[in-house]
Chains A and B, each alone.
Chain A
């Protein structure tokens, strides 16, 4: 390797700090240090996700059933399309970033400004999309029951195989439940939000409708969820303990709870990276406008934030594969 082939006069002190043995400036090297360590952090997260997934390989939720929304298309089953769009947006903002870097090499202030602006807009759209994705995931779609062991029971129509929501299953009854208020007790603890239906309402509604059956989270040999027979389902529903609507860090209507935990953690950590990238890009954008780099004589700062921005894109490529495709 042509590591120390320095041809300058001070080549006697290659590692003395005087010159650049890797032909990269201090700032760029430090950015690479950060990126390599951050890449290892993300690998750790994704491998931990892989660990949990392989450990629960026969109960892992099917991504195509979880992420099915597309803006303005209500009730249309559109798996993958929205994340594909998000991926294109992020790759495109990566391209405008690299164009900004290229314009910086030519000392073209107007072009750098323009491309930085496009990059910021792309990043903002991506963060917004991720927020929307989270909202759908947290809100849930059909709802489910949860057994004592944390297993998810979902309802399907036995004839068509289509999912059935809790609202269609439930047999709502008059609530005689009285909420304890702070003013009529010495000891008072606030209660969290309750699900729309109680377990017994779902159970009685299920018993009344003969065309319904239950789908467990276990996968069959060909990768589909196991659908129980009506008799098995009637027995299984007695084991239900909770009604689950949507997903959070403790309950998850889509299946294995760990899926939701890793989804929140990894896409959240990535989204935080995108968010900080947008903030840093805005700072650099204003620096470009006021002419800081014009006076400095080079646009290397744009190149450095560009490295970070491409890295965020790079991570998304992997998150996309492991959460949505595989």
Chain B
């Protein structure tokens, strides 16, 4: 991969960098901002975000979405997936994108079911 094949635009072309090095620093700043937001939210824990949404606190959903955003930029810009052929991009991302949500879905639903059974069951397990 030659130095001139880097794609230098992030945020769908909203932000264009002059060189690959500048892009790296730009992504670092973006990742730091996201991490700072996460840490501040984690310390402050605003009461307005404590409402439940789809079985989880709104704040937790925000954390998970921000984490996936960070993961995207680490993979796309630091691991250079942005510069790879789209066939390679799909080969890497699709298996993970299909298998992980599937695993998360079945195991968390099952765990929630077990929680209900243990809470409403006749056997005292927490003594």
The docked-state distance in angstroms from the alpha carbon of A151 to that of B92 is: 43
Most buried by A among B28, B77, B90: B28
Which A-chain residue is minimally distant from B88 (CB atoms)?
A22
Instruction: Please give, as numbers and ranges, the residues of chain B lying within 8 Å of A1 by CB-CB distance.
Output: 85-87, 90
Task: Give 1 or 0 for each of B84-127: 1 = CB within 8 Å of chain A CB.
Answer: 11111011100110011001100110111011001100001111
Q: A43-B103, A56-B115, A105-B3 are in contact. Are A51 and B71 (CB under 8 A)?
A: no
Cβ contact within 8 Å between A51 and B107: yes
The docked-state distance in angstroms from the alpha carbon of A106 to that of B19 is: 12
Interface residues of A in 1-34 (CB under 8 A from B): 1-3, 21-24, 29, 32
Q: A21-B87, A54-B112 are in contact. Are A317 and B70 (CB under 8 A)?
A: yes
Which B-chain residue is minimally distant from A311 (CB atoms)?
B79
Which B-chain residue is minimally distant from A94 (CB atoms)?
B78
Interface residues of A in 58-97 (CB under 8 A from B): 58-59, 64, 79-81, 84, 87-88, 91-92, 94-95, 97
Distance (whole angstroms) from the CB of B49 to the closest CB of chain A: 12
Distance (whole angstroms) from the CB of A254 to the closest CB of chain B: 16
The docked-state distance in angstroms from the alpha carbon of A36 to that of B75 is: 12
> Cβ of A120 < 8 Å from any Cβ of B?
no
Cβ contact within 8 Å between B2 and A22: no
Distance (whole angstroms) from the CB of B53 to the closest CB of chain A: 14
Instruction: Please give, as numbers and ranges, the residues of chain B lying within 8 Å of A59 by CB-CB distance.
Output: 126
Cβ contact within 8 Å between A57 and B115: yes
> Cβ of A264 < 8 Å from any Cβ of B?
no
Task: Give 1 or 0 for each of A263-288: 1 = CB within 8 Å of chain B CB.
Answer: 00000000000000000000000000
Q: Choose, from A123-131, A192-200, A318-326, the stretch at the interface.
A: A318-326
Interface residues of B in 53-96 (CB under 8 A from A): 60, 63-64, 66-67, 70-71, 74-75, 77-80, 84-88, 90-92, 95-96
Q: A50-B107, A95-B28, A149-B126 are in contact. Are A40 and B100 (CB under 8 A)?
A: yes
List 10 tightest A-B contacts by C-beta distance, closest first. Answer: A54-B111, A149-B127, A3-B87, A321-B67, A22-B88, A84-B39, A55-B111, A105-B3, A51-B111, A310-B78
Chain A to chain B contacts (Cβ below 8 Å), 24 pairs: A1-B85, A21-B87, A22-B87, A23-B88, A29-B88, A32-B91, A39-B96, A47-B107, A50-B104, A51-B111, A55-B111, A57-B115, A98-B78, A99-B21, A99-B24, A102-B3, A102-B20, A218-B126, A222-B50, A306-B79, A310-B74, A321-B67, A326-B60, A326-B64
